[in-house]
Amino acid sequence: MEAGGDINTTAARIYSGADDGDTGTVGITGESALELGQIDLASGFVRERLEINDNFTLIPRPQGQATQGVAGNITITSNNGSIDTTSGTINSRSPDGSGNITLNALGDINTGNLTASALNPETPTRGGDIEVTSREGEINATQPIETFSERGAAGSVNLTAEGSIQTETILSQGTQRGGDINIESFSNDSNVPRPGKDNEVMLPLRRAPEIDAGGALNTFSTEGVAGDVTLASPGTITLSGIRSEGQQQGGTVYFF
């Protein structure tokens, strides 16, 4: 889906699924503001008939075990505006490996729940990576971000913004390996008052970007190695808690 202006799907649900095969991918690109509702890629789930005004759609049943299939990638890009996904969950889930979830915008990004899950109870498969990048704005993750593998390795979670970053709980959990969690807020502008070019008027002080992790940051492995946790910011870093724990080895926590 592409548009030269805004895109708003908050009243809709975007879905791709298969009973025992692979899902499709979702790519949404707009020049300005993107406001998105639920996006669900799910393979290998029993589906049921849902009647809607004499029509029907097939949707994954919430209960039950997935059987087989790979979920695709979800890529959302705003070239010159913002992204807001707080109206719904963005979810890529399947038994044979989940896709990656990527959000990239010039401006601010506000997210709801982001989930990439590999749900094979017998064979090691990989949970997808989750990457959120704001090139000139801030990131506000209002709900949990989770990448999970029932038998294999979880994906990594990467949040990068020129401005401040606020998060709720972040979880990267895999039986064999937990993924890395990287949160970086940076600024290319100096955080000091500076004279104007012509009239020597002092320009306003720019506040250094900060990281505020309101929920715990968890990378966890029940049988193997946990991932590393990296936080980098020129401003204040506020934490609720960090857990990097693996049955064989825990990860390293870095502050910059």
Single pTM value for the model: 0.86
Handedness of CA 145, 149, 155, 156 (dihedral sign): positive
Q: Is pLDDT above 50 for 225?
A: yes
pLDDT of residue 3: 86
pLDDT of residue 189: 62
26-47: pLDDT as tens digits: 999 999 999 999 999 887 555 5
Q: Compute the CA torsion angle 101, 102, 108, 113 (nearest 10 deg).
A: 0
105-150: pLDDT as tens digits: 999 999 999 999 998 888 899 999 999 999 999 999 999 999 999 9
Q: What is the mean pLDDT of residues 149-159?
A: 97
Q: Is pLDDT above 90 for 59?
A: no
pLDDT of residue 159: 99
The CB-side HSE value for 92 (13 A sphere, CA atoms) comes to 29
Encode burial over 235-250: b for 16+ CB neighbours within 10 A, e otherwise. Answer: bebebeebbbebeeeb
